[in-house]
Amino acid sequence: MKRILTMAASIAILLGGLEGKAQENPFFSEFKTPYQVPDFQKIKLEHYLPAYQEAIKQHDAEIAAIVNNKAKPTFENTIVALDNSGEMLGRVGSTFGNVMGTDGDKAMRDLAKQITPLTSKHYDDINFNEGLFKRVEAVYNNKKITSKLTTEQKMLLENTYKGFKRSGAGLPVDKIARLRQINGELSMLSLKFGDNNLAETNNFKLVLENPADLKGLPQSVVDAAALEAKKANLEGKWVFTLQKPSMIPFLQYSEKRDLRERLYKGYLNRGNNYNENDNKEVIKKILTLSKERANILGFETTADYILDDRMAKTPANVYNLLKQVWTPALAVAKRELADMQELAKSEGMNETLQSWDWWYYAEKVRKAKYDLDEEQLRPYFKLENVREGVFYVANKLYGLEFKKITNIPVPNQEQTEAFEVTEKGKHVGILYMDYHPRATKRVGAWCTSFRRQSNVDGKYITPVVSIVCNFSAPTADAPALLNADEVGTLFHEFGHGLHNLLSNVHYKGVAATQVKRDFVELPSQIMEHWAFEPEVLKVYAKHYKTGEVIPAQLIEKLDKSGKFNQGFTTVEYVAAATLDLDYYSQKDFSNLDINEFEKQSMANLGIIPQIAPRYRTTYFSHIWGGGYSAGYYSYMWAEVLDADAFEAFAEKGIFDQATAKSFRDNILSKGGSDEAMTLYKRFRGAEPNIQPLLKNRGLN
């Protein structure tokens, strides 16, 4: 009896503790912060799971209210109600997902393994809710309703209905049960791939002890490696990692060919080392399950299923685009290789160049041809100055102002800045910027949002946007100095940021984040065009020590070398895009050998051995859960658009206000509220052609 009483008392204490935690949990009410941004400093790891559980419970109740509504289905009581539902889940999910991407330590990643099955089941419960789908379908088929809808409302209805159909709504019970299993397994496999990829990137270090091994490296690169060694408790040594700000300069300047080979092979073999982090079996399972899901949904391959809902529509259309670019790009890459081989021979290197030699000899050719060393540019690309250059372009084009603020919570206090974005004094949104690599941060650069823009019941909801990068970090003696590629990346991600910040739609389901994958890169890629315009460079490219504006002769060299190495850049990209599509176009994976498949795919393409795909299979995170499955071609598809679109600015002036207004009104503010090509033609007056892209890359 005494033991029973003790257990009862323990349960009461536990329940009381949970109730107390709920009251303290920042997610259980709207954030009481400026601009209602997530309360990052109060959110603890233990808050997430209870918050998810409560958010799912609330969302379930909202869905039940829609399904059980006795009134006939209407656009408002069904489609809009569904679009507005899940507000708490949106807050919790966006916060957890984004923080895990930038600060995903082991505890957080372990927690994700608990949360992912909950959310997978929850969204399946919605997608396979027969009563809900019947109401959506009733609205979709009701001509009296649809004839009165605005274009934006029709797009929301179309997206909602197609979303259900593409998820499997209306299928027999046994097929729905199998789809649930597949969705659950795929979500966990995606997590596993990401865990392996992060571990493989972090686990490799090239540790140098002999100063002679640093031969050829600029002092800034040596200093950064010394700082990396200090972080790893290897003071007095030099550490180079697989993070691009560490790896690429080493490949460009190190005179130690054997060390270049070791570092580059470490990069190429991530996830392919036959250890506990090997990704090959994970990928085979992803491919097999994805194809089975596509078959259940009525498509022959995963590529057919995915592209059916994209601008491209079919794999054949994508292959056609890639082929148009591949042929001239490969010819240019071969000429680039010949130039490098000739230079190497003149220096007494008679061996055939390999992939780990490309950056080194390309840099030498750049210097010989254009008298330009990329290290000459770095002093003019101080991170803070480049950021101000990005803000300058946004102000000149769209009248936006950016004010750094310190009175709001930020995702990572040590490395993230916050800015309030305004237009003519009116609040537009919040922008976070997170610049440098961390062991808990996934590689690459991306733009995301903690809150999407919408207009719910007449209340305008402003966006909270975040730009995340992995740029060269400050050293003990110098601030963060970017290379030209990193400058372009910041402009690129900021273009995504503008798309989110300037979205002006009514419904979350057609906001900027809902744009078709092969259209979403247009706003980002067009921004890259301004990065190296002389007029813009003179504003932000100032020497970090003297404040001297970048000299005209350096701008001229930069301009003349703008198409340098574009054969290599284009070939490695098209190779990766082709590899992606080749995988997802397959019909049988029973005897798949990942390494052999990749080798054969590249052989069929005719790639030269000195160039590897931009992403090899086992670390190609874009396509194994990163949202670009059978869609990595999207960057090239969008480049056809952005190159053509920038011609409109080039013709009338890069800051022409009428052109900027048209781009904002027809592209940036519209999100996914109309068909992508319709929006584009409203801006440009016609569909684009590929010639501006080939011209920009020097491939025509």
Task: Reduce the DSSP state of residue 208 to 3 states and report it.
Answer: strand
Can you tell me the distance from the alpha carbon of 138 to that of 116, in angstroms, rounded to the nearest whole number?
Answer: 32
CA geometry: angle 573, 491, 562, nearest 5 deg: 60
Q: How far apart are CA 482 and CA 479, in angstroms?
A: 10
Q: Is the dihedral of CA 690, 695, 697, 700 positive or negative?
A: positive
DSSP run (H or E) holding 205: none
Q: Are the CB atoms for 619 and 195 separated by under 8 Å?
A: no
User: Which of 336, 375, 493, 598 is labelled catalytic?
Assistant: 493
Q: Please state, as a whole number, how many other Cβ atoms lie within 10 Å of the Cβ of residue 50.
A: 16
Using DSSP bridges, classify how beta strands 426-434 and 464-468 pair: parallel, antiparallel or unpaired.
Answer: parallel
The pair phi, psi for residue 533, each rounded to 5°, is -65, 130
**C-alpha–C-alpha distance, residues 130 and 631, integer Å:** 30
457 sits in the region (left: phi over 0; alpha: psi -120 to 50; else beta) called: left
**What is the spatial distance between Cα 24 and Cα 47, in angstroms, rounded to a whole number?**
9
Ranges of H-type helices in 128-236: 130-140, 143-146, 151-167, 173-203, 219-231
Q: In what order do the strands lie in the sheet with 426-434?
A: 400-405, 416-423, 426-434, 464-468, 446-451
- Residue 82 CA to residue 69 CA, distance in Å, equals 12
Query: What DSSP string describes 231-291?
Result: HTT-TTSEEE-SSHHHHHHHHHH---HHHHHHHHHHHHTTT-SSSTT--HHHHHHHHHHHH
Helices (H), 25-44: none
Burial class (CB in 10 A: 0-12, 13-18, 19+), 60: middle
414 is catalytic: no
In whole angstroms, how far apart are CA 694 and each of 316, 326, 526, 617, 639? Answer: 20, 11, 15, 27, 10
Q: How far apart are the two ends of the chain, measured CA to CA in Å?
A: 88
- The DSSP secondary-structure symbol of 481 reads B
Q: What is the DSSP letter of 520?
A: T
Helices and strands in the chain: count of H runs, count of E runs: 28, 9
Catalytic residues: 493
